[in-house]
Amino acid sequence: AKRVIFLFMSGGVSHVESFDPKPKLVADAGKKIPIHEFQGRKGEFQMFLKRPHWEFKPHGKSGIEVSSLFPQIATCVDDLCVIRSMTSDHTNHYEATLGIHTGSFTFARPSIGSWLSYGLGTVNRNLPSFVVIAPFSPYAGGQVWGSDFLPGAHQGTLVVPGAEPIANIQRRTPTQDMQEKELRALEAMNRRHLRDH
């Protein structure tokens, strides 16, 4: 089975400094252009066009252009799927982060990891179908790995640095016996709910 790894950064380097060469931006560097909205504010703004700091070159058999900022990534570029066709008309980080992870920046939807888990399943039902490594809460918080209206089993498992990398792994009850009693009580309530509904 192949693993699918998505890397989304909540902030970070500009796309024009990494995997998205813009020859016209280089040619027009130094010019100013008018825009009608900036970070959610309507109005007339003048923006200064600035060329990337790093040069782009094609790499691998695919010829995908990568900036010289990432020489190691350039060596394995044929293992990447670089998507350059996505656009958004929103300029705020919160909405943009929510949009790239869920497809909607107006309200929460299942994350892309949740849809993959739901559609493809997992190779091991005893492990999470996908994990999220987030030392700090990103823009839009846990919505970016949430399952929303899909079953909770398809939500990402958050891993953070520290003494408890995954929350709620350790039992909260003082003894194993107490935990088993709580689980039996919960199972009885679930059966009653199923019977009544």
Q: Name the pTM for this structure.
A: 0.61
Ordered per-residue pLDDT tens for the chain, 197 residues: 556 666 666 656 677 888 888 899 899 999 998 988 877 778 888 888 988 889 999 999 999 999 999 999 999 999 988 888 877 777 677 788 888 888 888 877 999 889 999 998 887 778 888 888 888 888 888 888 899 999 988 998 888 888 888 888 888 888 999 999 999 999 999 999 999 99
Report phi then psi at 90, rounded to 5.
-105, 140
Query: Residues near 34 by Cβ (< 8 Å), separated by ≥ 6?
Result: 44, 45, 46, 47
* pLDDT computed for residue 10 by the predictor: 60
120, 123, 144, 78: CA torsion to nearest 10: -80
Residue 32: per-residue pLDDT? 92
Residues 6+ apart with CB under 8 A from 31: 48, 49
